[in-house]
Amino acid sequence: MMAARPMALAVLFAAAALAAGDLSAQDGDDLGEVTYVRWCAGCHGVDGTGNGPGAEYMLPRPRDFTLALYQIRTTANGALPTDDDILAIIDRGMPGTTMPGWENLLSDDEKEALVEYLKSFSRFFTPDEVPQPLDFGGATRVNADVLAEGEAQYQALECWRCHGNEGRGDGESSPTLTDDVLDFPIRAADLTENWLFNGGGEVEDIHRRMLTGLDGTPMPTQADLITAGIIDEDQLWALAHYVRSLSPDDPPGITEVVRGVLFEDAPLPSSVNDEAWLDVERAYLPLVGQIIVSPRWFDPRVDGVWVQAAHDGESVAVRVSWSDPNNSPDPEWADWKSSIISLMQPKEGDPQDEGPTPDQLMVQFPMQMPEGMEMPFFLRGDDSRSVYLWQWQSDRDGALEGEARGFGTEAFQSEGENLTVDASHADGEWQVMFTRRLVTDDEADLDFVTGEAIPMALFAWDGDNGESGTRGAVSSWYFLFLEEATPTTVYVYPALAMLLTFLLGILVVRSAQKREREGGEVVSETAI
Amino acid sequence: MSDRFELRGLVWPTLMLLVMAGCGGGDGGGGGDAGGGAAMEDPVDAATAGNIAGSIVFEGDAPSMAVIDMSQESVCADKHSSTPMIQEVVVNSNGTLANVFVYVKEGLESLQFPTPGPVLLDQNGCVYLPHVLGVMVGQDITIRNSDGLLHNINASPTVNRGFNSSQPVSMESTRSFGSAEIMVPLRCDVHGWMTAYVGVVDHPKHSVSNGSGAFSLSTLPPGEYVIEAWHERYGTQTQNVTVTTGETTEVTFTFSAS
Amino acid sequence: MGKYLKHPLGQAVLVFVVAYFLLDFGIEYIPPLLGWASAPIPNSVLLQYLITVGVGILLWVSDNDARWAEFKAPMHRVMVDPGQKTLRNSLMVLVPVLVAFATFNSVRPSVSAPTTLRAIHPSAPGQFVFQGATLQLAGLENPLRSQGSMEEHYEEGKRVYYENCVGCHGDGLDGQGHYAHGFNPAPLSFQDDNTIATLVEAVVFWRIAKGGPGLPNEGAPWNSAMPAWEDFLTQDEIWSVIIFLYEQTGNEPRTFEEEAGGGEAE
């Protein structure tokens, strides 16, 4: 079991820094420079322009420090960050990007020296000008009225133009957004995933960014609206509360097992929008870029899917939901797509924009329930253990069943007669529901068992993000567990145990009292 | 309420301006008021001054202008009587080039000019009016939203610090630049086609070629100047120009289709 | 308070509670304060330890008759004292309910993943095929250590690492890359002193070259997301990234002499 061991790591790092200085560092070198070259230059480049060897594998690209453009600040729009602002980014990293937090990896001295060194890349930082943080005030209380006011402001201030009606980053302007420096495509934040907000996901963080803007990105400051008297401070806080409310209260924990709820009396959900799904618990499974087999993909659009499952003893229904700004292929996103394809490394397989590509979802199970630990390789199986696949794509009706023994060996049955699918795209979200009988006549299908953990993996592609084939998002093995009816013994045993304990208690107390009456004060000397 | 959100950085410059204005008064500079630079007199003696006037000639075939698809923004589309076009290269009917920023690059270093009043940059019909704008360092730009729908004004300078402000309703914001910079690009991220350029120079002697390709730099002290013309696609050109008292020197820049 | 602590029952309860907290939380959190690695203990082990503690406590209190009598007197009083009737009746209800609850928790069907045992460091084969050529593991040395400039090998290794490895193993080489959360088992931390620091470079080379798909049978359940890098990298690129891994973490590879002399099992 891996536990977080920040202290241990910090000690190890310090030891590493001491032991390993011989190649890069000399006595008397600037600590900031040594730290930077050692730990930061791989992405940000030795010259600070954001062109390290790793840079082209990342989008957004690593920051160019020569411009002194910092997204996450406590200072006014366009102003330089304070030292504490830079330190906070080093400590916390930029969630949702490739920038990790260094809080436990670098010593305080190293981080302080690093701040000075980062500033030295830009002529904008001068000793006489000390950036001053804004006064943000305190968060207002939140209640239903405040959230309603916040939603009204979301409409009135037209946040939806980029972030979309429900905040999933699917607004009408989102396909053409670019950053200010490189003019590369940049995503409008998906406001339903606050754990990926790069400046923090709590209401204070959100409010702060609405006042400062995210410099270097299309996200503007709203401060002029307050200066001009168009909204007041409480209304801005209400908007911040509303944006916060679009995400879950807590970031979703990664659950290893998706529970397939048993519908004993009620019928299984019949469509993807069936209200019965509202009562079925959701499991969040993170997806990451497919970087294992060539050609790899370092810019997956889908970073996670919500999975629900239900069965009634006859059939199983699995609903998968995920944020995707559009239903690919969509001509509005054609420029975005070709940009992404041309910008991302590696160029394995010579990626070309070969015209319209759909969104896709694939659900994978082992072809045979594994005995012991012998599961198929999680990417489409291997020579000795094949996998069973469900495949859906946005430009085709129905879904396919198939089998594979490794990436590229997928063989789909002519028509998935045992598998039905219902899909809908609305407000930046795909919802896809598969339904299949637990047991089919087809020998090429997996027979689903109840009461056992069935390995399951998922793959998703956003066609208009340049994804198809091996270029997409993948998960490793998770499990689908189809519940069995609760046996009555589950209730009988506790009742029996309770009764027995109670009777035993009566017995013990009675006998003690009896002895007390008979033996009087000698009781304390009686051994049991 | 609102002052809480004003840039604290403004406090010091403002204080310093006040102090400087006070000192100026003490020197007997004559009626320096709290308005600071506004009271400064024009350093050019109109009696001895000359002018520069000219036009921007365009050679070759005019590139076709890209059409702006405003179909999703009917409020803006309705404001245009003809099909709105991308203003990157605007060749006038007389074969001249519009939207060329012309300014005195060298020759005015010794003079201190008063800062002119604010200049308007309008967002109307989902385009910037004007597309190319000249200002003096420190001169206020009034940025107006006449459309009543969301624009953001995103300035990405390299010499100055940028800004990116949201204007979701009909309103005005004021910004200025503290250092000379050729040119500061502005854009609206909501409407990807909306771009504008601001030339920031140390003096008010700048001009933008108009619908007949003409520009003028008036009331310059006699002497030698370097004049630069900047175009969004075709880059910059310079010419040495001599200005003599009471005369208007004609200057022609020629840009060729590349 | 002091009154209760002088009483054997109070002492017994205190010892038991302290033991519980030390076992359940102390083992996990105290060693890291001193810079040592640790992890929580499984519940089954915790139960065994607590039983041992309980038996020890009983041995101690029953070792002396007077102490034993004093120890059980409060419990006895609860059972017989007419003045304690309310407490007695409450316990008669509470205890059976707790027992029922515990029973329910242990018999109700649980939704859980099968426990998988997996060798994180499978032992390396004697020889393996690298890009078509058979290599003997024993005696396989990093050729870059005896040729060219170490600075250049380090820089080359850094390039290879940032283009290929950083997504999982992280900028800090701590296994916390931005894709690490997507994979189970989690990517290895090279900062841990039981990963590359315990290996000869030849084994590291084999693991990098063959990745997850090249693991021997004991490496099942075949979840490792480690690619087979022989499909992507040249031999020199792999050797240079190995130099980068050791240099960046301040670890030293083991040598074959240590391996032979130490006699330590993999």
Reported as a single tens digit per residue, the pLDDT across A92-144 is: 999 999 999 999 899 999 999 999 999 999 999 999 889 999 999 999 999 99
State whether A499 and C162 contact (CB < 8 Å). no
Q: Give the E-state strand segments of C131-210 in sequence order.
A: 133-136
Residue A129 lies in a domain: no
A389 DSSP β-pair partners: A364, A402
Beta carbons within 8 Å of A322's beta carbon, 6+ residues apart: A302, A304, A305, A306, A429, A430, A460
Residues A148 and A170 in one domain: yes
State whether B172 and A228 contact (CB < 8 Å). yes
Reduce the DSSP state of residue C166 to 3 states and report it. helix
Q: Report percent pLDDT > 90 for chain A.
A: 77
- Per-residue pLDDT tens digits for C141-177: 999 999 999 999 999 999 999 999 999 999 999 999 9
Round the CA-based radius of gyration of chain A to a whole number and report it. 29
* CA dihedral of residues A243, A246, A248, A249 (deg, nearest 10): 40
Contact B74/A at CB under 8 A: no
Residue A127 lies in a domain: no
Residues of chain C within CATH 1.10.760.10 domain(s) are 127-262
Minimal C-alpha gap between B152 and chain A (Å): 6
Residue B183: asked if its preceding bond is cis (omega within 30°), the reply is yes
Residues A101 and A222 in one domain: no
Alpha carbon distance C178, C168 (integer Å):
6
Residue B23 pLDDT greater than 80, yes or no:
no
Comparing C-alpha atoms, which of B232, B225, B218, B229 is closest to residue B253?
B229
Residues A228 and A370 in one domain: no
Residues A240 and A288 in one domain: no
- Per-residue pLDDT tens digits for A515-526: 888 875 544 444
- Per-residue pLDDT tens digits for B115-130: 999 999 999 999 999 9
Residues A67 and A158 in one domain: no
CB pairs under 8 A between A and C: 224
State whether B153 and A220 contact (CB < 8 Å). yes
Contact B8/A at CB under 8 A: yes
Residues of chain A with pLDDT under 70: 1-28, 373, 415-416, 520-528
Q: Report percent pLDDT > 90 for chain B.
A: 82
Residue A448 sits in a domain whose CATH number is: 2.60.40.1190
Our count of domains for chain A comes to 4
Question: Count of CB atoms within 10 A of residue A366's CB?
Answer: 21
Mean pLDDT of chain C: 86
Residues A472 and A502 in one domain: no
Whole-number pLDDT of residue C69:
87
Which pLDDT band holds residue C43 (cuts at 50, 70, 90)? Answer: confident
State whether A476 and C73 contact (CB < 8 Å). no
CB A453, CB A422: distance < 8 Å: no
**Of B245 and C185, the one with more pLDDT:** B245
Domain that holds residue A494: 490-525
Reduce the DSSP state of residue B165 to 3 states and report it. strand
Whole-number pLDDT of residue B21:
42
Please state whether at least 3 CB pairs lie below 8 Å between chains B and A.
yes
Residue A166 sits in a domain whose CATH number is: 1.10.760.10
- Per-residue pLDDT tens digits for B81-101: 999 999 999 999 999 999 999
Overall average pLDDT of the B137-145 stretch: 97
The structural architecture, per CATH, of the domain C127-262 is Orthogonal Bundle (1.10)
What are C49's two structure tokens?
């330890």
Residue C264 pLDDT greater than 60, yes or no:
no
User: Per residue in A278-311, is it b (16+ CB within 10 Å) or e — as a string?
Assistant: eebebbbbbbbbbbbbeebbbbbbbbbbbbbbbb
Residues A152 and A295 in one domain: no
Please state whether at least 3 CB pairs lie below 8 Å between chains C and B.
no
Residues A412 and A454 in one domain: yes
Residues A91 and A239 in one domain: no
Residues A357 and A443 in one domain: yes
Residues A408 and A280 in one domain: yes
Residues A425 and A320 in one domain: yes
Residue A252 lies in a domain: no
State whether B171 and A228 contact (CB < 8 Å). yes
State whether C222 and A374 contact (CB < 8 Å). yes
Options 1.10.3720.10, 2.60.40.420, 3.40.50.300, 3.40.50.1100; CATH of B44-256: 2.60.40.420
Task: Delimit the domains of chain B by residue range.
Answer: 1-39, 44-256
Which residue in chain C has the smallest CA separation from A345?
A: C163
Choosing from A202, A225, A245, the residue where a domain stops is A245
Residue B164: Cβ-neighbour burial (10 angstroms; 0-12, 13-18, 19+): buried
A 130-189 → C contacts, CB under 8 A: none
Helices (H), A122-272: 144-156, 160-163, 203-212, 223-227, 233-245
Residue A136 lies in a domain: no
What are C116's two structure tokens?
């998988």
Alpha carbon distance B73, B45 (integer Å):
50
Question: Count of CB atoms within 10 A of residue A1's CB?
Answer: 7
Comparing C-alpha atoms, which of A345, A341, A373, A343 is closest to residue A463?
A341
For residue C118, list chain A residues with Cβ-Cβ distance below 8 A.
373
